[in-house]
A and B are shown apart, each in its own frame.
Chain A
Amino acid sequence: MKQSFLEICIKSFAWFSGLFLLSAVFLIMCYLIIKGWGAFGFSLVFGDVPPLDALFLHRKVFSGLFPAIVGTYMLVILAVGMATPVGIAAGIYLAEYGKERIKSFFSLFYDILAGIPSIVIGLFGFSIAIFLHRYIKEIYPCLFISAMALAILVLPYLIRTTQFAMENIPEDVRLTAPALGADKLQNILYVLFPRSLSGITSGVILAIGRCAEDTAVIMLTGVVASAGIPKSLMSSYEALPFYIYYISSQYRTSQELQTGYGAAIILLLICAGLFLTAFFIKNIMIDRILYRS
């Protein structure tokens, strides 16, 4: 069959754009890896301090990425720890208890919350810190404030994934426990929640990824370029994405720039790892562990 001119145009444009996108991503990745490969090694993370000394906090690391990695790690744990219980509870309410009208009303609010630019949420966190500072003098933008703001950032995603996972349970599974005499709560706790656990877990992991990569929120709420390991929730801290941003505009030596490339690769690996884990869990793992079939 002879193809018309239009068909050929559309086809070649589609191939062009797909391949263009692929090659752009490929170029970005290759550039990062080639430039940053030389920096890789223990000294990238720990500087000139022996790794074990650094890990047990015997000696401070000044020239490595260790404080930034620890900062990101603590930030993520705090933020996701705060957001997960609230997000899951709200998601369960929406999926199981809410009536149609309440549901659409609430979900409008969650959609708006999800759409708010992260810098605006950072601004909110910053103004909370100032507001509290008037009453308690010790409070400045700090690790805790950042974690709280990040928790707000990921909350709507957690609610949505929980709701989605619960609502997608097939009707016959949903009716089994009530048919055996279980009440609504038992049904949720013993059947519906475990059943949707893989969906919820992958949502949580994606939330971790978002917390780890977000820069706009933390740059307004207490991250600094060099602070060492944070001593308490109320102190400032370092984080990987902010370090990358900082290096890109403020690097002084080529060695600092090298560390920046290294940091970018580490962050990329963390995010890719989390993404793959979420994907893996969603598709395969937990269902198989819980329901050996």
Chain B
Amino acid sequence: MINTGKFIEKSFFIAAIFSAALTFIIFVFMIFLSLPLFKGGLFFNILGNPWKPEHGIFGVYPMLIGTVLIVLLSLCWAFPLSLGSSVLISVIAPPRFSKLLKKIVQMMTGIPTVIYGFVGVFLLVPFIREMFNAGSGMNILTASLMLAMVISPTMIIIFTDSFENIPQAYSDAIDALGGSAIQKLIYVILPCSWKGILTGLILSLGRAMGDTLIALMIAGNAVAVPDSIFESARTLTSHIALVIAADFDSIEFRSIFTCGIVLYMFTTILILLVRFLGRMSLKNK
């Protein structure tokens, strides 16, 4: 009996080790496959160069800029929208309505991204095209608007969770002093939950950066560095999806691993930041 117990414990342990090792293996594999680039010092060249296959230049600088623009712009839409909605859910709205709203937001996290993309192509793209007279309508603005829809639900859930986790005593104190709901929000809830808000922002940043389908379907995928938000652009993620080189040893093919490594490292840094924030709030309590 003791032996079976030991055996089962071992297999649980192996499963845990294996899952953790996967994280590491993925990284090593990508480094390994882009190794020739590191040797020649090409890695940083690729990050800074334009994408001109006809001249033999396979840089991903335009995609880097495209990613940054789309992600930041989508956060600009999603953050105020999410903050407002979470305030509505946890402070202002009557209880039944706020419960319903919360359910709907939770359901929204389950809507497939490809559906947002699909509706984006046939509904939002023509709208933006007519409204701003902007070429094909597939541009950074359009993609960022749809991406904001994709990341908002997660942000709202994290925000409302942190709003509802403030110490009960603080909340009672405001009530006892006769403060209104809005005063409670301004003087207690927001100052107490800035870490939760920051965490939500960072995680949504990661989600927005990692999303492929929205940018791929409605950002237009141009390979030039965009000059304005009405120009089409390509993100790192959609670049990976679009480059399908038959020759596995070509630089063109290797360059997509550079994109992969950049994405991997950036999301890892974001996760570390979130953990750091979590540690800080644990110590304060």
Contacts and interface: CB of A to CB of B under 8 A. Distances in A.
Bound pair (A, B): yes
Contacts of A113: 19-20, 22-23, 26
B264 interface: yes
Interface residues of B, number: 82
30 contacts: A3-B180, A14-B85, A15-B92, A21-B105, A22-B101, A25-B149, A35-B122, A89-B11, A90-B15, A90-B16, A90-B19, A93-B12, A97-B12, A110-B23, A111-B271, A116-B26, A116-B264, A119-B212, A119-B237, A120-B30, A122-B240, A124-B30, A127-B257, A185-B4, A185-B5, A215-B114, A248-B117, A264-B114, A264-B115, A267-B115
A14 B15 contact: no
B118 interface: yes
Contact of A32 (B115, B256, B268): B115
B88 A22 contact: no
Nearest to A152: B22
Given A112-B268, A216-B241, A245-B118, 8 more contacts: A14-B92, A28-B119, A85-B15, A106-B20, A109-B20, A113-B20, A119-B241, A248-B122
Interface residues of A, number: 83
B9 interface: yes
Contacts of B108: 25
Interface in B2-49: 4-5, 8-9, 11-13, 15-16, 18-20, 22-24, 26, 29-30, 33
Given A17-B84, A108-B275, A245 B114 contact: yes
B87 interface: yes
Contact of B111 (A35, A87, A268): A268
B213 A216 contact: yes
B118 to A, nearest CB: 5
B206 interface: yes
Contacts of B107: 272, 275
Contacts of A10: 87, 182, 185-186
Q: Which secondary structure characterizes the binding site on chain B? A: helix
Contacts of A152: 22, 26
A68 interface: no
B69 to A, nearest CB: 17
A11 B15 contact: no
B174 to A, nearest CB: 14
A106 B22 CA distance: 11
Contacts of A274: 110
Given A11-B182, A18-B88, A220-B240, A112 B267 contact: yes
Interface string B94-128: 00000001001111101111111111011100000
Contacts of B87: 10, 14
B212 A215 contact: yes
User: Most A CB atoms within 10 A — which of B4, B123, B260, B274?
Assistant: B260
Contacts of A89: 11-12, 15-16
A202 interface: no
B110 to A, nearest CB: 4
Given A86-B19, A93-B15, A216-B212, A21 B81 contact: yes
A126 B185 CA distance: 49
Contact of A260 (B20, B118, B216): B118
B157 to A, nearest CB: 13
A72 B84 CA distance: 37
Contact of A245 (B88, B182, B217): B217
Interface string B165-199: 00000000000000010110110000000000000
A115 B267 contact: yes
B29 A86 contact: no
A241 interface: yes
A13 interface: yes
B72 interface: no
Contacts of A275: 107, 110
Q: Which secondary structure characterizes the binding site on chain A? A: helix
B140 interface: no
A97 B240 contact: no
Name the 6 nearest CB pairs between A and B, nearest first.
A17-B84, A117-B210, A213-B112, A89-B15, A93-B12, A109-B20
Interface in B59-95: 80-85, 87-89, 91-93
Interface string A101-144: 00001101111110111111111100110100000000000000
A92 B114 contact: no
Interface string A238-276: 000100110111000000000010001001100110110
B270 interface: yes
Contacts of A11: 92, 182
B70 to A, nearest CB: 14
A190 interface: no
